[in-house]
Amino acid sequence: MTNPLLSEWQTDFQLPPFAEICDGDFCPAFDVAMEAGRAAYASIASNPEAPSFANTIEAMEQVDDLLDRVAGVFFNLAGSDSNPAREALQRDLSPKLSAYSSEIINNRALFQRIETLWEERDELGLDAEQMRVLMLYRRMFLRAGAALEGDEATRLTEIKGRLATLGTQFTQNLLADERDWMMPLEDLAGLPDFVVATARAAAEERGREGHVITLNRSLIVPFLQFSTRRDLRKRAYEAWVARGANGGATDNRAIAAEILALRCERAALLGYENFARYKLETEMAGSPEAVRDLLMQVWAPARAKALADAEKLEAMLRADGYDSPLEPWDWRFYAEKLRRAEHDLDEAALKPYLALDSMIAAAFDCAQRLFGLEFRPLEVPLYHADARAWEVTRDGRHMAVFIGDYFARTSKRSGAWCSTMRSQRKLGGEVRPIVVNICNFAKGDPALLSYDDARTLFHEFGHALHQILSDVTHGFISGTSVARDFVELPSQLYEHWLEVPEVLSQHARHVETGEPMPQDLLDRLLAAQNFDQGFATVEYVASALVDLEFHDGPPPADPMQKQAEVLETLGMPRAIRMRHATPHFAHVFSGDGYSSGYYSYMWSEVMDADAFEAFRETGDAFDAQMAGRLESHILSAGGRDEAEALYTAFRGRMPGVEALLKGRGLAAA
């Protein structure tokens, strides 16, 4: 039978024919795609014609269309709907794909064609985008080791293959720990109805009676907020922070140590002092010193705020009769009580106004008002019953297919992310993207979100808009193909529209009565936006600084000891832990994406706080001219210029850290 992954897709919008694809199709499809790619790259490298932009760079741009198509389906499924067959295939594929990439990078004839083009670039008559793409291709080859020879080239290939294997293993270990742990719950004391319903649904998914607590953030966080059983909060919290560090086959600590050692060796082979200097060379920050400077500017006021808050929370703990210090499993419980006391804000009363469907509609409505986008539901076969799709259009023109997959399940890795099954480009004919948002919200009927959940939905949709509005010729620079510490700008900026009172007043309607959120509740919600920011900022910055110190120097033989040393030096408040401890720090150890780069969220936040201020200055959060500038210079631009140049074109200057501190409520009074 014909492999559906290798056939032309006669589907609406050329969506993958999910109903026809089985797990057994992937391995042969990858083999065919890689063999076709090898032959095509060899043909480009051996072309007897003199190198030109068309016969080298543009030809390379289109070589891996089939591989990208197969990988776009597989890796989306591997993250969002895994199973033993997909996990086994991912373990097998990781080193194969790494070897394939190394073969291309190590093709001396191919690299020489790129070098020739670079040397002759001023005579080629290239436009600005072509010149940028040529520079990025050359830089990619050089940073991947194309100039190495002999034993050094061989060793670098070995390192990259091993890192690919270890990253996959780290991810799968974490998924296994999250999937396998649960705590049967007989005492529901303090839990509001929405937590009880979610715990019941979690038990049903696992084929059990009653209620269970799992390690899914949308369940364990509200449990820690509301359960009056301190012993159960401790048990659940300790299981949550122990992911990847439970001993046995799924323990990630030795994997993390090996990854750090291999990264340092990789950087040394390429001529860098350490991995942080290698990684940050192409980011906006440019150096470990710049990253550390930003994080420490934020750390001091955040720590001071967290310590002041800890005193209040510990006093509440002692008032409840506990003669013991505030612990990490107490923080969310007493913070929730303090939020109610200071802002009269009860999450159980808030959630009925934040139904998932209403928040999706709010995100779509903001995109329509800002960028003229329209969203039409599609009835098409998808990879899971929970996923749903929309066609995105503007003025009748097809822009993208957007897929939303919002609910937690045991087959989905934790967290939230945006990916594509197909990216935008114009080379070789217009290609419009297929964009996917993955979240892990608690399933319910109806599904109700916390305010943090709603922010996550807007955040990931901001990433989606970066893909949907992409308007470049070359796929190499489309959408989110930008510096890592710039990629979070569109997503974090989009979160701000959830704060706009008219958005909440229109879309935050009671799920049963349809009544809008009462004005006093809306006012209290917005007034409480910076509540507990000391805690949130400390747990994040601590993680970012540990990541930086892991990579800015010799690799630690024992990452857990290094983590402890960094936190002690910082004076980490005892009742707060890192947001992501080393054994479950997937951002850093599942791949190289955020390695030495977890700071990126805060680097982008400096810009997003300033960028939304640009809208505020107009007096209209939906100012058409400012939205046009945002689309033109950032959302549609992809990576066609340096990130600083793109932001400056939008705003006229680069911002300082002041807007970030003000936005988090950490600025000096």
Just list the catalytic residues.
460
Encoded tokens for 230? 């301190």
Encoded tokens for 446? 């109806």
Q: Report DSSP letters for 400-465, one per residue.
A: EEEEEEEE--TTS-SS-EEEEEE--B-TTS-B--EEEEEEEEPP-SS-B--HHHHHHHHHHHHHHH
What's phi and psi for 507, nearest 5 deg?
-110, -20
CA dihedral 185, 190, 194, 195 (to 10 degrees): -30
Q: How far is 300 from 573, CA to CA, in rounded Å?
A: 12
Which helix (H) or strand (E) element contains residue 365?
helix 356-371
Greatest pairwise CA separation for the chain in angstroms: 83
Encoded tokens for 297? 């500017």
Encoded tokens for 106? 């190590």
Q: How far is 290 from 108, CA to CA, in rounded Å?
A: 35
Within 8 A by CB and 6+ apart from 297, the residues are: 657, 661
575 three-state secondary structure: coil
Order of all β-strands in the sheet with 434-441: 374-378, 388-394, 397-407, 434-441, 417-422
Q: Which of 512, 506, 510, 597 is nearest to 546 (CA)?
A: 597
Burial of 649 (0-12, 13-18, 19+ CB in 10 A): middle
Cα Rg, the chain, nearest whole Å = 25
Tell me the β-bridge partners of 213: 183
Listed in order, strand segments (DSSP E) in 87-211 are 183-184
Within 8 A by CB and 6+ apart from 491, the residues are: 418, 459, 460, 461, 462, 463, 466, 604
Q: How far is 263 from 597, CA to CA, in rounded Å?
A: 14
Q: How far is 33 from 44, CA to CA, in rounded Å?
A: 17
Is omega for the bond preceding 301 within 30 degrees of 0, making it cis? Answer: no
Length reported for the chain: 669
Q: What share of the chain is helix, strand, coil (3-state, %, to 5)?
A: 60, 5, 30
Encoded tokens for 371? 């960028």
DSSP 8-state assignment for residue 516: B
Within 8 A by CB and 6+ apart from 301, the residues are: 661, 666, 667, 668
